[in-house]
């Protein structure tokens, strides 16, 4: 499956799951702030991706599990360097470069763009 084909399918899933217009879904669109995704939508999106692409996605594999449960990862409302390093290694499909400048834990969901979801699916499909 080509990247364009993956993108088209991901777009269709996001339009359906988030009730947004086709043109709202761009590679750089953030799922939360741009497309209005709430926490339960992430569950819905993971289910839909598994169905559409025949994937098995473990909890925390596409989107991180609750960071604040790990004392070493969050301090004073910010994700610690250790937390960021862990996120980067667990979620290689996500670009954390912008987040590192202001790593407020409440903003962590903003790193999830449409492009990150496409990259994730691409990697999963390539790994068989």
Partner 1 sequence: MRWMWIDRITHLEPGRRLVAVKNVSMAEEHLHDHFPARDGSPAFPVMPASLILEGVAQTAGILVGHARVFREKVILAKIGKAELARDAAPGDTLRYSATILHLDTQGASTSTTIEIASPTAPGVFETIGAADIVFSHADHNTAGTTLPAFNFVFSDSFKTILRTSGFGDE
- Mask 23-52, x = binds partner 1 (CB under 8 A)? ----------------xxx-xx-xxx-xx-
**Using the rule CB under 8 A, is 13 a contact of partner 1?**
no
How open is the CA angle 57-62-66, to the nearest 5 degrees? 110
Q: What's the min distance (Å) between Cβ of 13 and partner 1?
A: 11
For residue 36, what are the CA distances in angstroms to 7, 8, 20, 45, 60?
19, 20, 8, 13, 20
How open is the CA angle 55-121-47, to the nearest 5 degrees? 45
**Using the rule CB under 8 A, is 90 a contact of partner 1?**
no
Q: What's the min distance (Å) between Cβ of 101 and partner 1?
A: 26
Q: Could you count the other beta carbons within 10 Å of the beta carbon of residue 82? A: 13
Q: Nearer Cβ to partner 1, position 26 or 59?
A: 59
**Using the rule CB under 8 A, is 104 a contact of partner 1?**
no
Contact call for residues 75 and 105 (beta carbons, < 8 A): no
Q: Nearer Cβ to partner 1, position 27 or 42?
A: 42
Q: Contact positions toward partner 1, by CB under 8 A? A: 16-17, 19, 39-41, 43-44, 46-48, 50-51, 59, 66, 68-69
């Amino acid at each position: 499956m080509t990247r364009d084909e993956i993108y088209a399918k991901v777009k269709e899933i996001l339009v359906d799951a988030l009730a947004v217009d086709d043109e709202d879904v761009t590679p750089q669109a953030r799922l939360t702030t741009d497309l209005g995704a709430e926490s339960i939508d992430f569950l819905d999106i993971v289910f839909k991706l598994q169905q559409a692409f025949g994937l098995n996605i473990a909890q925390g594999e596409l989107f991180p599990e609750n960071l604040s449960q790990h004392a070493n990862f969050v301090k004073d409302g910010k994700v610690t360097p250790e937390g960021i390093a862990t996120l980067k290694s667990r979620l290689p499909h996500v670009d954390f470069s912008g987040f590192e400048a202001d790593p407020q834990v409440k903003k962590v969901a903003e790193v999830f763009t449409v492009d990150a979801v496409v990259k994730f699916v691409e990697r999963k499909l390539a790994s068989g």
